[in-house]
């Protein structure tokens, strides 16, 4: 018996990295998974490796059930089409994982409005659209789980004064989208808790060496010992999607911290364990 037997899950950003791993773990636990992203086939992305077809093939070869749905999350119509395609293929979604992200690592004063708007469209607006699209069926059936994927960047650098020699902060855009997502998570969680639906938010305790993170230069490679493997995030997402709503609703947490809290791992380290997380994770 899998923890998600008979459940239908949508996982965005499933072509690589954390999203790919979440899709695989959910499928291994019995879920029928809709894998969504822009990159349908290998080579469609001009820089990064990974594709929906690759993720789905690996799931099916392992005996799981998954379908790829290419989707531009910056487009509202495409977001709503994703939810309708899910219902047509597998039925109404029981689980939604808002994992896809878009950002530009530039100081705020160098960013264009177009880039700012696109990042908010994917990182904040799309989770809102997708959540409100799947919620009517979840509320009707009195069960469901929405897991939003955040980042340690939501914590921010704190107040000044600052050192003049400190490099410019390039996470103002990305961090602000994740802080907004955390606040949205708790607000929506309070709204739908009475309907038996859990809304939670999850970030890594340590950096996850995904292809995107490697390209950003935040780690040296996929096997960088400073990081944690993506399956840690995947297992924590599984926990938030499968545990009772009373234990998960409104949680803004970190993967190793919550896995240790629930006894899924014996030891933990990083944000949420050795250091405090964002303000929302403490409330």
Q: What is the mean pLDDT of each run of 10 residues along the chain (283 residues)?
A: 96 95 98 94 68 96 97 97 98 98 90 97 98 98 98 92 82 95 98 98 91 65 76 98 98 98 97 95 89
**Residue 42 to residue 239: CA distance in whole angstroms:** 30
State the helix-helix crossing angle for 113-120 and 172-192, rounded to 10 degrees: 30
What's the pLDDT score for residue 44?
59
Of the listed 24, 32, 178, 260, which one is catalytic?
178
Beta strands, E only, 160-270 = 197-203, 252-254
**Residue 96 to residue 159: CA distance in whole angstroms:** 35
Instruction: Name the CATH architecture for the domain at 8-157+164-282.
Output: 3-Layer(aba) Sandwich (3.40)
Of the listed 174, 198, 254, 278, which one is catalytic?
174
What's the pLDDT score for residue 214?
66
What's the pLDDT score for residue 18?
95
* CB atoms closer than 10 angstroms to residue 104: 14
**Residue 111 to residue 201: CA distance in whole angstroms:** 27
Q: Is residue 114 annotated as a catalytic residue, yes or no?
A: no
What are the structural domain ranges in the chain? 8-157+164-282
Of the listed 103, 119, 131, 150, which one is catalytic?
150
**Residue 63 to residue 60: CA distance in whole angstroms:** 5
Q: Is residue 162 annotated as a catalytic residue, yes or no?
A: no
Q: Is residue 174 annotated as a catalytic residue, yes or no?
A: yes
176's CB contacts (< 8 A; 6+ apart) are none
**Residue 191 to residue 201: CA distance in whole angstroms:** 15
**Residue 93 to residue 9: CA distance in whole angstroms:** 6
**Residue 159 to residue 95: CA distance in whole angstroms:** 37
What's the pLDDT score for residue 167?
77
CB 178 within 8 A of CB 154: yes
């Amino acid at each position: 018996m899998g923890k998600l037997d008979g459940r239908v899950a949508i996982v965005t950003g499933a072509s690589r990295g954390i999203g790919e791993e979440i899709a695989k773990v959910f499928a291994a636990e019995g879920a029928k998974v809709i894998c969504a992203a822009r990159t349908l086939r290998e080579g469609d992305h001009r820089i990064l490796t990974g594709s929906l077809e690759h993720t789905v093939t690996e799931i099916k070869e392992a005996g799981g059930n998954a379908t790829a749905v290419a989707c531009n999350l910056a487009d509202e119509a495409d977001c709503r089409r994703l939810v309708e395609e899910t219902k047509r293929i597998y039925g109404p979604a029981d689980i939604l994982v808002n994992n896809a992200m878009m950002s530009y690592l530039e100081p705020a004063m160098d960013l264009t409005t177009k880039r700012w708007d696109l990042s908010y469209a994917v990182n904040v607006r799309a989770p809102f659209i997708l959540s409100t699209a799947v919620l009517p069926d979840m509320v009707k059936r009195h069960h469901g789980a929405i897991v939003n994927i955040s980042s340690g960047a939501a914590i921010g650098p704190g107040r000044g004064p600052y050192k003049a020699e400190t490099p410019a902060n390039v996470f103002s855009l990305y961090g602000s989208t994740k802080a907004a997502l955390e606040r949205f998570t708790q607000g929506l969680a309070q709204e739908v808790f009475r309907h038996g639906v859990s809304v939670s938010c999850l970030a890594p305790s340590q950096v996850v060496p995904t292809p995107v993170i490697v390209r950003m230069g935040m780690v040296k490679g996929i096997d960088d010992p400073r990081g944690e493997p993506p399956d840690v995030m995947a297992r924590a997402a599984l926990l938030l999607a499968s545990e009772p709503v009373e234990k998960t609703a409104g949680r803004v947490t970190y993967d190793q911290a919550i896995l240790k809290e629930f006894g899924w791992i014996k030891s933990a380290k990083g944000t949420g364990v050795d250091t405090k997380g964002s303000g929302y994770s403490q409330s």
